Structure 1
Amino acid sequence: MTANGRRLQDRIIDLIIDSGLTPGSPLPTENQLVDELGVGRNSVRESLRALSTLGIVDIRHGYGTFVGAAPITAFTPGLLYRARQSLRHDASVLRDLMEVRRVLETSLIEAVVAGADEDLVGELDALVAAMESGDLVETDQRFHETLFRPLDNVIALELIGLFWTVYHRVEAELDPPRPGRAEICHEHRMIVEAVRAGDPAAARDALGAHFVDIEERVARLIRQSTEAD
Structure 2
Amino acid sequence: MVKPKKPHIESANAAEQIKSLILSQGLHPGDPLPAESELCQTLGISRSSVREALKHLEALDIVQIRRGVGGFVGPLSMSALVETLAFKTILLAGNDLQALREVVAVRRYLDMGLAEQTCKALKGNPQPGLETLVQLMVDKAAAGKTFPEEDFAFHDGMLALLGNDLVRQLVAAFWRVHVAAIPSMAPPSVESLTETAAAHSEMLTAAINGDVEAYLRAVTKHYAPVFSALNLA
Q: TM-score range by the shorter chain?
A: 0.7 to 0.9
Comparing 96-105 with 54-63, greater Cα deviation is found at 54-63
Counterpart-to-counterpart distance in 2, 1:99 and 1:198:
24
Corresponding residue number in structure 2 for 1:144 = 155
Query: Are 2:58 and 2:65, in contact at CA under 8 Å, matched by a contact in 1?
Result: yes
- Cα–Cα, structure 1 residues 2 and 92, in superposed 2: closer, same or farther, change >3 Å? farther
Comparing 193-202 with 131-140, greater Cα deviation is found at 131-140
2:197 is the counterpart of 1:191: no
Where does the alignment leave 5 or more consecutive residues of structure 2 unmatched? 1-6
- Cα–Cα, structure 1 residues 99 and 183, in superposed 2: closer, same or farther, change >3 Å? closer
Counterpart-to-counterpart distance in 2, 1:73 and 1:112:
26
2:168 is the counterpart of 1:166: no
Where does the alignment leave 5 or more consecutive residues of structure 1 unmatched? 222-229
Runs of 4+ in 1 over 6 A off after TM superposition: none
Q: TM-score, normalised by structure 1?
A: 0.87
What CA RMSD, in Å, does the superposition of the two structures yield over aligned residues? 2.1
For 1:1-229, what aligned pairs fall within 5 Å after superposition? 2-117=8-123, 121-131=127-137, 132=139, 136-178=147-189, 179=191, 181-221=193-233
- Kindly state the Cα deviation for residue 36 of structure 1 after the two structures are TM-superposed: 2.2
Counting helix residues as a fraction of each chain, which structure ranks higher? Answer: 1
Secondary structure at the counterpart of residue 114 of structure 2? helix
Query: Are 2:40 and 2:47, in contact at CA under 8 Å, matched by a contact in 1?
Result: yes
- Kindly state the Cα deviation for residue 172 of structure 1 after the two structures are TM-superposed: 0.8
- Kindly state the Cα deviation for residue 153 of structure 1 after the two structures are TM-superposed: 0.9
Counterpart-to-counterpart distance in 2, 1:160 and 1:82:
17
- Cα–Cα, structure 1 residues 97 and 182, in superposed 2: closer, same or farther, change >3 Å? closer
Counterpart-to-counterpart distance in 2, 1:183 and 1:91:
22
Counterpart-to-counterpart distance in 2, 1:73 and 1:211:
25
Instruction: Count the aligned residue pairs.
Output: 221
Counterpart-to-counterpart distance in 1, 2:133 and 2:157:
9
Which amino acid is the alignment partner of residue 140 of structure 1? D
Secondary structure at the counterpart of residue 87 of structure 1? coil
- CA offsets 1:173-193 (integer angstroms, 9 cap, x no match): 012123455443222111122
Comparing 155-164 with 67-76, greater Cα deviation is found at 67-76
- Cα–Cα, structure 1 residues 135 and 210, in superposed 2: closer, same or farther, change >3 Å? closer
- Kindly state the Cα deviation for residue 211 of structure 1 after the two structures are TM-superposed: 0.6
- Kindly state the Cα deviation for residue 120 of structure 1 after the two structures are TM-superposed: 5.1
Secondary structure at the counterpart of residue 151 of structure 1? coil
Q: TM-score, normalised by structure 2?
A: 0.86
Identity %: 30
- CA offsets 1:189-211 (integer angstroms, 9 cap, x no match): 11122123221111111111111
Comparing 39-48 with 105-114, greater Cα deviation is found at 39-48
Counterpart-to-counterpart distance in 2, 1:215 and 1:180:
11
